[in-house]
Amino acid sequence: MSSNVPSDPLVCLEGVRFAYGEREILQGIDLTVKRGQVVAIMGGSGCGKTTLLRLIGGQLRAGSGKVEVDGQNLGRLSTRALYAMRRRMGMLFQFGALFTDMNVFDNVAFPLHEHTVLPDELIRDLVLMKLHAVGLRGAQSLMPAELSGGMARRVALARAVALDPMLMLYDEPFAGLDPISLGVTGQLIRRLNDALGAASIMVTHDVQVSLDLVDYVYFVSNGIIVAQGTPEEIRASDDPFVRQFIRAESDGPVPFHYPAPPLESLLSGVAA
Amino acid sequence: MNALAATLRRLGAMTIDGVWRLGFAARFSLAVLRYSGQSFLRLPLTIREIYFSGVLSLLIIVVSGLFVGLVLGLQGYDILRRFGSSDALGIMVALSLLRELGPVVAALLFASRAGSAVTAEIGLMKTTEQLQAMDMMAVNPLARVVAPRFWGGVISMPLLAAMFSAMGIFGGWLIGVVAIGVDDGAFWSQMRAAVDFRYDVLNGVIKSFVFGVAVSWIAVFEGYDCQPTAEGVSRAITRTVVYSALAILALDFVLTSFMFRGI
């Protein structure tokens, strides 16, 4: 857990609603993330977790409600102001999203080249330090195609923290990783967050790793927050949704079957 | 009645989708033009795309131009011989290439070779979230990825068409003069006397520039607008080649009808 005592809120969502066309994804989300915290957003597939992350990153705009980051309402920012805000954010995409035409070094150096006027020697030192932090200094000349899934994720992490962001967003950081890579990635997320004094929000399905790592958890289902609490509170929770999620039960508040008419009504033999 | 309603609904949805796509395409074009200044300020990005679109297309252009010229030489000699004017072979080869075949065939080859590659590259960058990652790093993908590729194509196209025409004329000379025995002096002197720089050469350059704009725009737009799936990228590449071919042939007719009205 964080050694820093969480202070003022860095991210604040109030009554956020969002829809793709007529399909409502989020139906009034309230959420707060304080500086120094690592917060997990969990829920079943398609419940709106990634949409929530994209709203916080300013990639989507809320239909109604307010998304505030560092006191600024993202919905009211111009493109220029939003880009200025994003320079203080880092995002780790599900599969890394490394630039395939650049090697590892150039991928990590990319945001530094784009947003700073630092001399090449200094950029080189910074990149090597970031790669050292994720344990991949020796892989600097490899191309993304030569990396394993876990390594690609770590390079993407080094790239995401290249500008020392105040807010880190993680989209399924543990998806498809072997147990060792999973543990390493989890430790890196915690360590980098504490070292930067940043706040981190991660969307994840991996309950056990996340509960060992985060300060606070939000559970999302059907576009609303159905449960929240510290890892201890979540483990002790009697909420049926939380219990189903933690115990990986196939049926419960999140149904096993996609909505459909009763099977009997579809079987011709039964009707006869 | 239900079938009619469903058909109307589908028609309405297609119309709305078409209008939406048209609006998006217009906004996309304006955005690319708006961010073009940045791609010229960062010249290495555009030069890199000229290399990928232009230099790497050179081989196919040179070889195709040579073969087209060889065929023109053979066919042209066969026809002109019947009228006793085989010395005019140089004029026929040069005008065919400079006015029509050079810009049109080079543009068709350019669409197949470079246009499809640009669509695939941008489409895959979208599918693998590279464009989103760039956007999240406060780097505009239109300025960093799309605009340099667009201008790389626009600049490359007239140069490739010129190369195609030059190789075609060389091919015509090889067949006419070296292989068949048409008089070398007559071949070149008649060509120089008949080919007008503004009327023939410049109009050909204008055509190839217009084709370059059309093909490059279709390529970047289809890549940027594709469905981010393997099938979506594949369809976008097909659309790039098909739409580019149709656009080139249609524009060629329009441009020709304006440029050569004296005919």
In this predicted model, what pLDDT tens digit does every residue of A212-240 receive, in sequence order? 889 999 988 888 888 899 999 988 888 88
Place of tokens 């993908």: B141
Q: Which residues of B touch A97 (CB under 8 A)?
A: 128-130, 132-133
Of B128, B137, B144, nearest to A86 by CB-CB distance is: B137
Given an 8 Å threshold on Cβ–Cβ distance, is B140 in contact with A83? yes
pTM for the predicted model, two decimal places: 0.86
Calculate the alpha carbon distances from A198 to A10, A168, A226 in Å.
Answer: 9, 7, 26
Q: Domain A9-271 sits in which CATH superfamily?
A: P-loop containing nucleotide triphosphate hydrolases (3.40.50.300)
Where does the pLDDT of residue A270 fall: very low under 50, low under 70, confident under 90, or very high at 90 and above?
low
Using pLDDT thresholds of 50, 70 and 90, give the confidence band for residue A3.
very low
Q: What is the pLDDT of residues B205-237, one digit of tens each?
A: 999 999 999 999 999 999 999 999 999 999 999
Domain ranges of chain A: 9-271
The predicted-structure confidence for A101-158, as pLDDT tens digits, reads as follows: 999 999 999 999 999 999 999 999 999 999 998 888 999 999 999 998 888 989 999 9
CB contact under 8 A, A86 and B128: no
Which of B122, B137, B139, B142 is the best mutation test for A, with the most CBs of A within 10 A?
B137
